[in-house]
Amino acid sequence: MEIERLADVFVEVADTLVADFDLIEFLHLVARHAADISGGAAAGLVLSDHVGNLHHVGASSEDARTLELYQVQNAEGPCLDAFRYRRPVVVLDLAEEVERWPMFAPHAIAAGMSSVFAFPMRLRDRVIGALNVFQTERQEIREAEVRLLQALADVATISLIQERAVSRAEVLTEQLQVALNSRIVIEQAKGAVARTFSVSVDEAFEMLRGHARTSRRRLTDVAHEVVTSPSGPALLRPG
């Protein structure tokens, strides 16, 4: 990746972080850049709840088949390993890891993936989630790319701690709950929009994002209004 593009990525990330940003939209952006940087087919971020379950919170592609690849990793997979063992996981050929991940590997291969990387989201002495990158063609990953992706995972981690009072241990718990609940609201809104306009949940997500962008509102706020206001999903009706 060229240095100019890399600079652009970090400028965009920093710009987004400055304003009153939407956490989920931001994590989405990080995932998209992670996919771009590595030439990957898909990238996603998972966060752990207090029980250690991993929840997908943002992804470069939200199609159901890809999302399933994050979900299945509650049982096994590179994200769970990166989370548990607190270090990056680099697998160039998934076909060689069927024994290691008897459920995840065939699942990912069936979805057309060949390589997979996972980077822990580290905060001081703990790991709160992982950044996951998939590639459809087996290719080497350079040391520089590994470091870059780990840096993006770290940026995503920092974005969770918006308050200045980082020293307050409770902030992390509060923010994680906000992130996890925001994601639930977005899923609920996807369902409501999909049914109202007879579109797929993936299309519904794009409609929600489009509306948030054009109305300059935060994605989570739009989703919340869609599922709680009397006008509901009709909010997104064009015109």
Residues that bind other proteins (CB under 8 A): 48-53, 55-56, 67, 71, 126-128, 168-170, 173-175, 177-178, 180-181, 184-185, 187-196, 201, 223-224, 227-228, 232-233
Minimum Å gap between C-beta 3 and other proteins is 36
In angstroms, what is the minimal distance from the CB of 196 to other proteins? 5
CB of 66 to other proteins, least distance (A): 12
Min CB(221)–other proteins separation in Å: 11
Nearer Cβ to other proteins (33/55): 55
Shortest gap between Cβ of 189 and other proteins (angstroms)? 6
Q: Which is nearer to other proteins, 48 or 150 (CB)?
A: 48
Is the Cβ of residue 71 or residue 136 nearer to other proteins in the bound state? 71
The DSSP secondary structure of the chain, one letter per residue, reads: --HHHHHHHHHHHHHHHHSS--HHHHHHHHHHHHHHHTT-SEEEEEEE-TTS-EEEEEES---HHHHHHHHGGGTSSHHHHHHHH-S-EEES-GGGGTTTSTTHHHHHHHTT--EEEEEEEEETTEEEEEEEEEESS-----HHHHHHHHHHHHHHHHHH--SS-TT-THHHHHHHHHHHHHHHHHHHHHHHHHHHHT--HHHHHHHHHHHHHHTT--HHHHHHHHHHSTTGGGGGS--
CB 153 within 8 A of CB 58: no
Kindly state the smallest distance separating residue 61's Cβ from other proteins, in Å: 14
For the bound state, the minimum distance from the C-beta of residue 56 to other proteins, rounded and expressed in Å, comes to: 7
Q: Which is nearer to other proteins, 149 or 227 (CB)?
A: 227
Dihedral sign for Cα 90, 93, 99, 102, please: positive
Nearer to other proteins, 173 or 215 (CB): 173
Choice between 29 and 59, CB closer to other proteins = 59
User: In which residue are the tokens 């024994």 written?
Assistant: 99
Residue 36 or 154 with smaller CB distance to other proteins: 154
- Residue 80: both structure tokens together: 């769970």
